Amino acid sequence: MADSTMAVSQWSPSFVEELLPAAEKTALLYQLSYLCLANFPNLERTIRSRAVETQLLFSSSDATMLKCILTSDNLVQSLFPMLTTAVEKNKPRLAVKYLEKARAWITDIIKDVDRIVEKYDLHNKDISSATSDVVTEKSNTDKDIAKKDQELTATETTLNQQKSELQNVNAEIDQIEKKINDKSQEIQDFAKSMSQTSKGLGIFAAIVPFVGLLVKSIYDSVNDPKNIAKMKALEAELNNLIGDKTAAKQKQWQLQLRIIDWQMKVATASFDRTSIPDPIHLDEVQSSLTKIQSIMIQLKNFWEKVAQMLIYLEQKTFVGEDLIDDLEDLKDEFLKSISAAKGAWTSFGAGCQKASVIFKLQTKDSYKFLEVSPSSLSKEEWQQMYEEVKAKLGKIDPPPSLQSSDKPAICQESAEH
């Protein structure tokens, strides 16, 4: 059953946990941008327009998540039961028909997610244009402003130091992620080598695209102590790398919060001097939207891999004559794989449901600040609102990789199944 096209996705059903802080952060950073551009009506209108566009984009993202929910439900409620029936009745042609239908669903989702990714790209360009407008107007109003005083310079120096440290941490995380991908590939290759002696393992790898379940299936299928020891060593190495990534991302998260705080100090100093602040928070808005776009790209890549696996399953299990002959012998292994797949896909659908709720909340409640012009606020009201937004930023829960989900992504699944 081993084949070069077979792949194991690193996409976790808990992906939604990374989406929540990015979406919350986007709205709060818009609000900070809105506050910092008080008394500049043209720029206020620009921020309001871009924020409304983001709300509409989140609404479209919610619709895409709904399609993922429905497709996951169709896999659990329709495809898997129909495949089970086809296998039990030893009807490979019927199974091929069902798999082709599932691939049509998934192809439609891939196109839909791709459209959303393009919308995020265009929206980020709009925000970049807005940032350029702010920069231009700032340049026109700053011609008569003296050089920044010593306190502001010191604040900017600290901010730049924090940014430099964050760049170093980002580079460290990139290196760790590469090592994690390499180690995951090593586990995948090991699973492929084992499939030479266990066709059931090969079927399992093709239909259950989650690493944790694959690791457990290796333990269940391999009896050789040497191979078991090798699998344990690979799993330990992967968990160690994930632990390193968790620590690095915790540091990254704390640096990001400190940078936002120092950026606000610079913005406040500029505000007090009647200068238009640098559009720092619009840059951060772009970063948050890019994070959400990255999640959507991962979602698209996930569905593409699932589509490839279904093709592999169709061609290698139900079309190849040698495997049709073995279908009766593989029936039990196939039905076990179907049972495990139902649980995994149900969990994935639940993750998409949570993502849908997040997009709905952001669309409905998080942009009410647009109803009040910041130029209408007194200095005291402005300061109070700034403190409230800053406090909300500090309460945003870190992504799961900063808490516990990265490492248990393997351990928990193995324990539960």
DSSP per residue, 139-197: HHHSTTPPPP-HHHHHHHHHHHHHHHHHHHHHHHHHHHHHHHHHHHHHHHHHHHHHTTT
Which pLDDT does position 112 carry in this prediction? Answer: 92
For residue 329, count CB atoms less than 10 angstroms from its CB and return exposed for 0-12, middle for 13-18, buried for 19 or more: exposed
* Entry pTM: 0.68
Q: How far is CA 342 from CA 109, 207, 337, 345, in A?
A: 19, 10, 9, 5
Q: Domain residues of the chain, as ranges? A: 13-141+154-416
Which pLDDT does position 404 carry in this prediction? Answer: 38
What letter represents residue 369's amino acid? F
Which pLDDT does position 212 carry in this prediction? Answer: 65
Residues 43 and 2: their CA atoms lie apart, in Å, by 58
Structure tokens, 411: 């351990």
141-153 confidence digits (pLDDT tens):
766 566 566 777 7
Judge contact between 22 and 288, C-beta under 8 A.
Answer: yes
> Furthest-apart CA pair in the chain: how many Å?
85
């968790």: which residue's tokens? Answer: 246
Task: Show pLDDT as tens, one digit a residue, over the chain (417 residues).
Answer: 333 333 334 455 556 677 888 888 899 999 988 888 877 888 888 888 998 999 899 999 999 999 999 988 988 888 888 888 888 887 878 888 888 888 899 999 999 999 999 999 999 888 888 888 888 777 777 665 665 667 777 888 888 998 899 999 999 999 998 998 888 778 777 766 665 556 566 666 566 666 666 666 666 666 667 777 887 888 888 889 988 988 988 888 888 888 888 887 887 766 655 666 666 678 888 888 888 888 888 888 888 888 888 887 777 666 554 444 555 666 777 788 888 888 888 888 888 888 888 888 887 778 888 888 888 888 888 888 888 988 888 888 665 554 433 332 322 333 333
- Indicate the length of the chain as a whole number: 417
Residues 266 and 153: their CA atoms lie apart, in Å, by 9
Structure tokens, 107: 């192809």
